[in-house]
Amino acid sequence: MLVIFITSILIALGLYLVFSFSNGETKNNRKQDNLSLFDSETKVISSMEGLEQITKNKLKDEREILFLQDVPEELISEQSENFEGKRKTFSIVLSITGLLMILSIYFYPLELGSYSLLKDAEVFESFLNGNKDERAESKELFNNRYLEYIVKNQEKSNHIYALAISLKNLEEFDLSSLAYQSLFINHKDDLSGDILAEYAQVLYFSEGRKFTEQAKELLALALLKNPDNPVALTLKGLQYLGEKNLDQTVIQWTKAVSLITNEREKEELKKAIKALNNRKNQ
């Protein structure tokens, strides 16, 4: 935070210096300009042929009188002071505006530039990219930021879902369930059967592979929205298995096998079906 503040001050100071001491005319020196122009015209008059020297001298005198007219010093000084004052005022205003804009980007809760969201991103990235031991060490800090983020950003369903699925893939089911819960509470009608099936799966694992009443209701709703979701079908088979209904378990899992695209998961479920059929035939 201190680094950001110091950087902002330096940038504002830089703006002030650049505009305060930028190149440009600071004095309107009419006399110097007139002298230079007079010298040039004198050379031209001297080189003119067909004119007597007396005539040339007269022309030079007339031009000298014209060019060397006194410019009121008070007017020049007043104009210079006004110009300098306006430039300094502009530099100060520009510097203060730049400072406020930079600080607002970091400290005011804008969409992506707020300092708090940047800190959240650091904590989230560290936790999500860490190994199991690293996550265990930073879990308390992550949990505090995570809960606060969910509350403040509950309308940003895409962001919440990204966190939910990331935590699910890391098998952080307790944390993942909080994000899915926020989605269900605030965006229930917009959730697909696939997302509802994921939520039911997360609840199942977070409860120690047990079906709570909430998990059962979610599973039923998921299958109602999408009867061909392999995750929901696999879970339904597990529910029937817990109820000792082996026939329905085999039916649900057999349908799930035909829909699963992951070959390893498909083979594992086929082995489970085979084991159940052998158990039924004993």
pLDDT in tens, the chain (282 residues): 454 555 556 665 565 555 555 444 444 455 555 556 656 666 665 666 665 666 656 655 665 566 555 445 444 455 555 556 655 676 566 667 765 665 555 544 444 444 456 677 888 999 999 999 999 999 999 999 999 999 999 999 999 999 999 999 999 999 999 999 999 999 999 999 999 999 999 999 999 999 999 999 999 999 999 999 999 999 999 999 999 999 999 999 999 999 999 999 999 999 999 999 988 777
User: pTM for this structure?
Assistant: 0.61
Are 227 and 243 in contact by the 8 Å Cβ rule? The answer is no
**Residue 274, burial from CB neighbour count under 10 angstroms (0-12, 13-18, 19+):** exposed
Tokens (6 digits) for 122: 């650091």
Are 141 and 180 in contact by the 8 Å Cβ rule? The answer is no
* Calpha distance 267→113 (Å, rounded): 47
* Calpha distance 181→160 (Å, rounded): 10
Predicted pLDDT of residue 67: 54
DSSP 72: P
* Calpha distance 252→89 (Å, rounded): 77
- In the chain, what are the helix, strand and coil shares in percent, each to the nearest 5? 80, 0, 20
Predicted pLDDT of residue 63: 58
Q: Extract long-range pairs of 246-251: CB within 8 Å, 24+ residues apart.
A: 246/276, 246/279, 246/280, 247/280, 249/276, 250/276, 250/277, 250/280
* Calpha distance 109→153 (Å, rounded): 12
Predicted pLDDT of residue 280: 78
Predicted pLDDT of residue 23: 45
Are 278 and 259 in contact by the 8 Å Cβ rule? The answer is no
Predicted pLDDT of residue 120: 77
